[in-house]
């Protein structure tokens, strides 16, 4: 049918006739509208299991009430055939059940262990999706028939919560499925769910779904009891002075590993879920001062999306776009977070130092350069931090590399590759005029108390040599 669609002279007229037949079926009109709206909003094709969630009278309540279970059956051909017939019947073949495309044979071998994670609900042809996006009348019909109380972002959050609650069943049904695969799958689902939570209504239902996601992940994800599951989002391992190479061979930034000290509030800060952060910190304000490892303000300023486990490039781009949320930064600063606070696990560098470093490196990365750095957001955040008393940074070490074996005098010896001052970085990001103005404001912060100790003077003099 995809080939046939390409040959239809007027595709929009063709799809209009199909939807006229769809709306004539009053029995499944609501199911059809909800499936189309959810698939249209979803950032990637949905696993076929979530169809049963979408067609519930209240998908959110259904996901909240669903228990965490290890007895759900994923891998049956009967379920796949039943879902295909259900989707085809309601959506007139404009949506299809398609097998996942794989990047490598090893990835295919992992996925084929669980058929339920192998099949996706997809638009039959990209022109179907284009038609829906460009047809206000059809979009209005979808909204009307789905019901006025149907919210697509919270429905998608509910779908991923429901999937995570059944992730443990994959191990039960297939003992040879690797735990690493299950962890990656669950982490990817949690990331997708929280990304959709950003657009969901800030109400008690969304709050409960976010709470259920935390509970389900604590059961599904493999980690020590005393460590929150969100610590698995970034690489961990032995700490070296300026960086290390991960198991995949990708260079991993030293200032990413959190040594098991990440908590759920920090995770929500990084997803810019401000209302949830406010609720949790209001219940326990002391957490702002007592948080070990990275302060919450550091999470708001540095995303590290490139290393998020289980996240694809699209998810990482979303995370970067939503990072450095001005409202989140202002809220945390208002709680007394100190932008000059040193972080012990990162060589006691300050939040401001690490923010400058991240700002510079992000400007050079293809993903972050085309999203965050092209917006007004980093400029507003930087000015707000300066207004809260940032101190000057004479030398910011950006990256390093090992010496060649012939040049290295000691094992694991490294040589610094690049370093820049705060002024250099601000000018690089915001241009000569504004960057210089920002740095002048930073220097004024330091001269509020005009007297300087000899040690401060000598340190600054040394930094200029």
For residue 140, CA distances in Å to 115, 123, 134, 398 come to 35, 19, 11, 51
142/38 same-domain check: yes
Say how far apart CA 411 and CA 321 lie, in whole Å: 40
What is the per-residue pLDDT for 150? 95
Close Cβ partners of 32 (under 8 Å, ≥ 6 residues apart) = 22, 25, 90, 91, 145
Close Cβ partners of 444 (under 8 Å, ≥ 6 residues apart) = none
- Start-to-end CA distance of the chain, whole Å, equals 71
229/213 same-domain check: no
Q: How many domains does the chain have?
A: 2
Residue 45 lies in a domain: yes
Answer whether 0.85 is exceeded by the pTM. Answer: no
Residue 240 lies in a domain: no
What is the per-residue pLDDT for 460? 55
Say how far apart CA 43 and CA 114 lie, in whole Å: 22
CB-based contact 196:159 (threshold 8 Å): no
Say how far apart CA 457 and CA 153 lie, in whole Å: 55
215/151 same-domain check: yes
φ, ψ (nearest 5 deg) of residue 161: -65, -45
CB-based contact 275:203 (threshold 8 Å): no
214/229 same-domain check: no
59/160 same-domain check: yes
Residues facing residue 123 across a β-bridge:
95
In the predicted model, what is the mean pLDDT of residues 421-437? 94
207-249 tens-digit pLDDT: 999 999 999 999 888 777 788 998 887 754 333 333 333 333 3
Query: CA 196, 201, 207, 210: dihedral to nearest 10 degrees?
Result: -10
Q: Return the axis-axis angle of helices 422-430 and 351-364, rounded to nearest 10°.
A: 40
What is the per-residue pLDDT for 26? 83
294/311 same-domain check: yes
What is the per-residue pLDDT for 111? 45
Residue 83 burial (CB < 10 Å; 0-12/13-18/19+)? buried
Stronger pLDDT, 61 or 402, i.e. the higher one:
61
The count of other CB atoms within 10 Å of the CB of residue 66 is: 17
Residue 249 lies in a domain: no
- pLDDT above 80: residue 315: no
DSSP per position, 242-270 = S-EE-TTS-EE-TTT--TT---HHHHHHH
Residue 251 lies in a domain: no
Domain stop point among 219, 246, 267: 219
Full residue range of the structural domain in which residue 132 is found = 2-219
148-179 tens-digit pLDDT: 899 999 999 999 999 999 887 665 444 444 56
Stronger pLDDT, 425 or 407, i.e. the higher one:
425
Residue 409 lies in a domain: no
Q: Angle 59-63-69 (CA atoms, 0-180°, nearest 5)?
A: 145
293-304 tens-digit pLDDT: 899 999 999 876
Residue 356 lies in a domain: yes
Residue 458 lies in a domain: yes
Tokens standing for residue 280: 């949790």
47/164 same-domain check: yes
Residue 444 lies in a domain: yes
187/228 same-domain check: no
- Spatial CA neighbour of 293 closest among 246, 344, 337, 342: 344
Instruction: Outline where DSSP puts E strands in 325-395.
Output: 342-343, 349-350
Residue 35 burial (CB < 10 Å; 0-12/13-18/19+)? buried
CA atoms within 13 A on the CB side of 460: 11
215/262 same-domain check: no
Tracing tokens 């079926």 back to the chain, one arrives at 25
23/171 same-domain check: yes
84/152 same-domain check: yes
Residues facing residue 244 across a β-bridge:
252
CA atoms within 13 A on the CB side of 19: 19
Say how far apart CA 175 and CA 337 lie, in whole Å: 47
In the predicted model, what is the mean pLDDT of residues 196-205? 95
Residue 239 burial (CB < 10 Å; 0-12/13-18/19+)? exposed
208/261 same-domain check: no
Tokens standing for residue 433: 């005029």
């Amino acid at each position: 049918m995809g080939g046939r669609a390409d040959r239809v002279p007027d595709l929009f007229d063709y799809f209009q006739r199909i939807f006229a037949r769809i709306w004539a079926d009053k029995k499944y009109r609501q199911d059809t509208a909800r499936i189309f709206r959810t698939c249209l909003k979803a950032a990637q094709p949905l696993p076929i299991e979530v169809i049963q969630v979408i067609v519930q009278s209240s998908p959110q309540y259904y996901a909240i009430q669903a228990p965490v279970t290890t007895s759900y059956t994923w891998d049956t051909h009967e379920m796949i055939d039943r879902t295909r017939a259900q989707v085809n019947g309601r959506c007139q073949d404009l949506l299809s059940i398609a097998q996942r495309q794989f990047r490598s044979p090893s990835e295919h071998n992992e996925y084929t262990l669980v058929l339920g994670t192998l099949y996706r609900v997809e638009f039959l042809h990209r022109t179907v999706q284009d038609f829906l996006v460009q047809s206000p009348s059809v979009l209005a019909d979808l909204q009307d028939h789905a019901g006025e109380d149907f919210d697509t972002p919270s429905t998608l959050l509910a779908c991923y919560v429901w999937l995570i609650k059944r992730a443990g069943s994959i191990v039960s049904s297939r003992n040879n499925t690797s735990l690493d695969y299950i962890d990656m799958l669950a982490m990817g689902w949690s990331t997708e769910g929280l990304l959709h939570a950003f657009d969901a209504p800030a109400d008690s239902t969304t709050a409960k779904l976010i709470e259920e996601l935390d509970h389900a992940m604590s059961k599904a994800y493999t980690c020590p009891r005393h460590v929150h599951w969100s610590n698995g989002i970034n690489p961990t391992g032995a700490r070296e002075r300026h960086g290390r190479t991960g198991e995949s061979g990708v260079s991993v930034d030293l200032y990413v590993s959190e040594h098991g000290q990440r908590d759920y509030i920090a995770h929500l800060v990084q997803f810019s879920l401000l209302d949830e952060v406010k609720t949790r910190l209001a219940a326990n304000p002391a957490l702002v001062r007592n948080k070990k490892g990275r302060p919450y303000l550091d999470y708001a300023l540095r995303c590290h999306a490139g290393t998020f486990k289980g996240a694809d490039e699209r998810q990482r781009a979303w995370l970067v776009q939503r990072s450095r949320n001005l409202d989140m930064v202002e809220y945390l600063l208002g709680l007394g977070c100190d932008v000059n606070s040193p972080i012990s696990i990162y060589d006691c560098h300050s939040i401001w130092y690490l923010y400058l470093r991240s700002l510079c490196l992000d400007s050079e990365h293809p993903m972050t350069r085309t999203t965050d750095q092209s917006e007004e957001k980093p400029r507003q955040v930087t000015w707000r931090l300066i207004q809260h008393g940032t101190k000057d940074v004479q030398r910011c070490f950006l990256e390093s590399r090992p010496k060649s074996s012939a040049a290295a005098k000691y094992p694991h010896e490294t040589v610094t590759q690049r370093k820049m001052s705060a002024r250099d970085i601000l000018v690089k990001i915001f241009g000569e005029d504004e960057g210089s103005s920002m740095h002048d404001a930073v220097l004024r912060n330091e001269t509020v108390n005009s007297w300087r100790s000899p040690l401060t003077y000598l340190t600054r003099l040394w930094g200029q040599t």
